Structure 1
Amino acid sequence: MSVPNDRKFLGRLSLPERRYIADALRTETVGGVLLLFAAVAALVWANSPLSASYETVSDFHIGPAALGLDLSIQHWAADGLLAIFFFVAGIELKRELVAGELRDPKAAMLPVIAALCGMAVPALVYTLENIVGGGSLDGWAVPTATDIAFALAVLAVIGTSLPSALRAFLLTLAVVDDLFAILIIAIFFTSELNFAALGGAVAGLVVFWVLLRKGVRGWYVYVPLALVIWGLMYNSGVHATIAGVAMGLMLRCTTREGEEHSPGEHIEHLVRPLSAGLAVPLFALFSAGVSISGGAIHDVFTQPVTLGVVLGLVVGKAMGIFGGTWLAARFTRAELNPDLAWPDVFAVATLAGIGFTVSLLIGELAFAGDAVLTDEVKAAVLIGSLIAAVLASVLLKLRVRKYQALVSAEERDEDEDGIPDIYEEDNPEYHLRMAEIYERKAAEHRQRAQLAGASRDGGDRPA
């Protein structure tokens, strides 16, 4: 009996993909730690006797007013430095689309559906809470984003014995999440358009694309051009970070003959330390500094806007991603790695409730005209992310116990021949494992045959 050889989402990756994911995880983990330090420093600074100096530095304006760029330090961090973060996100997205999991529509269904549900359900939770409580609906998008750096940092610290497929799931999910967050910012948080500046930004992007296709090299060409594009995009009314995404998507992320790395991977390797080590931490430093007191924490859980953000991150994200993943696995041909269990997926779905960088940015955009409410929403993002991180840490720790025993069994090499005993054909465990895999394959084949027969006969679909 032949079993269909469908590509599995989160199945065994090729060696280049495995190396790429491993390198990305290491870097993102470091970035997550720096981001955490910056956020803590901002909270300490904003709640210390030197809080006035925090406001002074954040509101200090610098830049050429004639070019429309006389911005505060906080705006430079959010609109300027964060464009570097989105540039790297654009490269990651491009790579996934042309050389990663998302290049195969069948394999892409699961993370796309999970990410969509993981954004729609938090928005729905927020909306329902504010309809019932009579709050503002402007912040519906705040709890929709996942902070990949923070989430991966928690996973790296807690989930040391968890399967690599779990990390790959979170990474792929976050790339798709970033794409939809970018679209939300571009569509819903664009102010009145300046078509002259927007036309100039588009023209600059065309020049950028042509130079790339012609093979022109040199940072002294692209960096000044990128700054011009960013400045025009900012003045156009479209959020300036979109310029970074657009340029990242234009880079070629496939290798040609004689190339060890694609241009996109090479540039990402060069720019990522600037993003993870400078841009994102500085954004956190000047965005996370909100006053946290007993009264402020009480307000977070009593006001519909802030409570909607917390519930969206903690409840909406977990239920949305888990439910979306289950629906995709149940009603499409996408499959999870057989080494993963549904409790693993729920733990990662809970972890995705850490919405920091992009959630803070969307909060600033959604309530730009109300400084008090903006700070309250920021506090809600911080508290919701902390709750999600704690809950996910508990769930992941419970799963670690199971996988520690599994890893120990798979790495056992009693005859010291360099090959784990479980993979040697004379080991009974090897045959048992192969039999389990074959039986699972056979059951899947039988189920597909039953479904196909029921469809041909016009009968009811079996449960």
Structure 2
Amino acid sequence: MTSPSPSPSSSTSLFGRPSAKERKHLTDALRTETVGGMVLLFAAVVALVWANTPLSGVYDTVRDFHFGIPALGLDLSVEHWASDGILTIFFFVAGIELKRELTVGELRRPAAAALPVVAAVCGMAVPALFYVAASAAGGGQMQGWAIPMATDIAFALGVLAVIGTNLPSGIRAFLLTLAIVDDLGAIMVIAVFYTSTLNWWAFGGAVAGLVLFRVLHVNLRVRGWYVYVPLGLVIWGLMYNSGVHATIAGVAMGFLLRVSTKEPDEVSTGERVEHLVRPLSAGFAVPVFALFSAGVAVSGSALAETFRQPEALGVMLGLVAGKFLGVFGGTYLAARFTRARLNPELAWSDVAGVAMLAGIGFTVSLLVTELAFTGPAVTEHAKAAVLVGSLFSALVACVLLKVRDAKYRAMWEEETRDEDADGVPDIDQDPDPSRRPTEAARRTEGS
């Protein structure tokens, strides 16, 4: 006997269409990330070319050049300023986005959050297991297990922009939420597993600075960048000297911003700051980090050596096979054992394409590589593995998604059609609730 199909009100739609407000926020955020992804791709190519030409010595000299304030413990190389300093802007935006998703976004509803969270957790655990297995089999170093865990949303969107695909908002929302949960996992891993020594005085000072940040922002409602930028720099400096990775300061400050509002049309402080800072993160911070981290040797002998190193093999297998199996398997299991159902307009091949796209690690993977290994040879091989694994995942994902592009374009045109030119997509004015699954589900939950 066949069981009846669940009604829209009794199940969650996998890759279902978000609400109009969520789609607007999603479009604004992903537009910036897509442009940033293009700049990121360009920066990575420049780094690779620069590091593999007769000018490679200049690249090494610039990357290793030290400057700063030694008296404050801040005499860093250009490479470390990029990874420990400038990249904090990226994690600041990640902190705001995480706070928003948990407070007013899709992650606040357990039914909607379960699918991407399960997919993301499996997409972090399985790649780590692949790395451990490959490294153990070859007698490699185990501390790089977290390298293949992350998904680089900017790089992924840059790849999608290059091939010109039109992913519908449901898939884009799933991919963005997946990346946000990935970022949260990476933040926790960096804070817990890659903090070797802790200076409690500096750490206490950073926490006190964060408390002051919170009081000024929430309790006293102080405005003005001239207050928060100097305070943020002090918090960052104390966090760096504490032994905790300095980018955690950016996450913490972003998470402290208010993202909820009393009026439906009001823009929160967090959203306003995110709108201002995201272009700086996507167009400057991440590309600069890539410029001084992606410059590795890619000669035939160097690549051959990379494929022989257990650590590098573990990274590549984790990104390519581990990410795919983790995200696809986690999504399938969540749909199999919950009331979630795949959007009827899509197929499991679409999930496979997104799962493959999640294998683009790049930014956070390169950062964790620098934290995990101290030996330059192992670090270079692992970085090369990140590049190779991300490139392979991107190529396969492009093929899988491009095959379905006609379907995606039709769905995208339906979502954005506005024949009466009133600024509101026609689909959001359709009286049939089945055409608006997210709003219908929310009304059902609130009744």
TM-score by length of 1: 0.86
Pairs aligned (count): 425
The equivalent residue for 2:29 is 24
One of 81, 97, 112 as aligned partner of 1:92: 97
Tell me, in whole angstroms, the C-alpha distance in 1 between the residues paired with 2:39 and 2:206.
32
Alignment of 1:51-200 (within 5 A): 51-158=56-163, 160-200=165-205
1:453 — aligned with what?
Answer: none
Is 1:377 aligned with 2:382?
yes
Query: 2: CA distance between counterparts of 1:411 and 1:68?
Result: 52
* Distance change in 2, residues 1:206/1:31 (3 Å): same
Cα gap change, 1:4 to 1:358, in 2 (>3 Å): closer
Q: Aligned residue for 2:322?
A: 316
Match in the other structure for 2:50? 45
Question: For residues 296-347 of structure 1, what are the alpha-carbon distances to aligned partners after superposition, in whole Å with 9 as ceiling and x for unaligned?
Answer: 1112222211011111101000110000001111112334433221110110
| Structure 1 residues 16 and 314: alpha-carbon distance in aligned structure 2, compared to 1, 3 A threshold | same
Structure 2 unaligned runs (5+)? Answer: 438-447
Return closer, same or farther for 1:304/1:203 CA change in 2, 3 Å cut-off.
same
| In 1, Cα distance between equivalents of 2:103 and 2:232 | 24
Distance (whole Å) between structure 1 residues aligned to residue 28 and residue 79 of structure 2: 31
Q: CA deviation at 1:138?
A: 1.4
1:364 maps to: 370
Report SS of the residue matched to 2:74: coil
What's 1:455 paired with? none
CA distance in structure 1 between the aligned counterparts of 2:122 and 2:182, rounded to whole angstroms: 10
Post-superposition CA distance 1:121-161 (Å, at most 9, x none): 00001111111122111111111111110112223443634
| Corresponding residue for residue 5 of structure 1 | 9
- 1:350-395 Cα offsets, whole Å, 9 max, x none, are 011000000000000000x201111111111011100000010111
The aligned residue for residue 281 of structure 1 is: 287
Q: Percent identity?
A: 67
**Structure 1 residues 225 and 404: CA distance shift in structure 2, 3 A:** closer
Kept in 2, the 8 Å contact 1:106–1:333? The answer is no
Change (3 A) 1:165 1:157: farther
Q: Structure 1 residues 411, 208: closer, same or farther in 2, change over 3 A? A: closer
**Counterpart position of 2:231:** 225
- Contact in 2 for aligned 1:163/1:339 (Cα 8 Å): no
Asked whether the equivalents of residues 109 and 334 of structure 1 are also in contact (C-alpha less than 8 Å), the reply is: no
Counterpart Cα distance in 2 of 1:354 and 1:292: 18
Contact 2:257/2:270 (CA < 8 Å) preserved in 1? yes
CA RMSD of aligned residues (A): 2.8
Moved more, 396-405 or 68-77: 396-405
Alpha carbons 2:23, 2:169 under 8 Å: kept: no
The higher-RCO structure (CA 8 Å, 6+ apart) is 2
Structure 2 Cα separation of the partners of residues 216 and 409 of structure 1: 43
Partner residue in 1 for 2:268? 262
Structure 1 distance, partners of 2:409, 2:136, is 46
C-alpha distance in 1, partners of 2:78/2:380?
A: 17
Aligned counterparts of 1:411 and 1:50: Cα–Cα separation in 2: 48
CA distance in structure 2 between the aligned counterparts of 1:172 and 1:202, rounded to whole angstroms:
28
Superposed displacement of residue 70, structure 1: 0.5
Unpaired segments of 5 or more residues in structure 1?
424-430, 438-463
Following TM superposition, by how much is the alpha carbon of 1:31 offset from its aligned partner in structure 2, in angstroms?
Answer: 0.6
- 1:393 matches 2:390: no
Give the equivalent residue in structure 1 for 2:441: none
Partners of 1:141 and 1:264 in 2: how far apart? Answer: 29
Q: 1:407 to 1:241 in 2, by over 3 A?
A: closer
Mapped to 1, the partners of 2:396 and 2:191 lie a distance apart of 32
Q: Choose the corresponding residue for 1:252, options 255, 258, 261.
A: 258
C-alpha distance in 2, partners of 1:404/1:76?
A: 42
Q: Which has the larger radius of gyration?
A: 1
CA displacement, residues 34-88 of structure 1 (integer Å, 9 cap, x when unaligned) = 1011111111111111111111111111111000000001000000001100000
Asked if the contact 2:306–2:385 (Cα under 8 Å) also holds between the matched residues in 1, the reply is yes
Provide the rounded CA distance (Å) in 2 between the counterparts of 1:209 and 1:405.
Answer: 46
Deviation at 1:99, TM superposition (A): 1.1
Amino acid at match of 1:85: F
2:201 and 2:412 mapped to 1: Cα distance? 60
User: 1:155, 1:15 → 2: CA distance?
Assistant: 23
Cα shift readout 1:143-180 (whole Å, capped 9, x = no counterpart): 11111101122234436343221111111111111111
Q: Distance in 2 between matches of 1:318 and 1:174?
A: 14
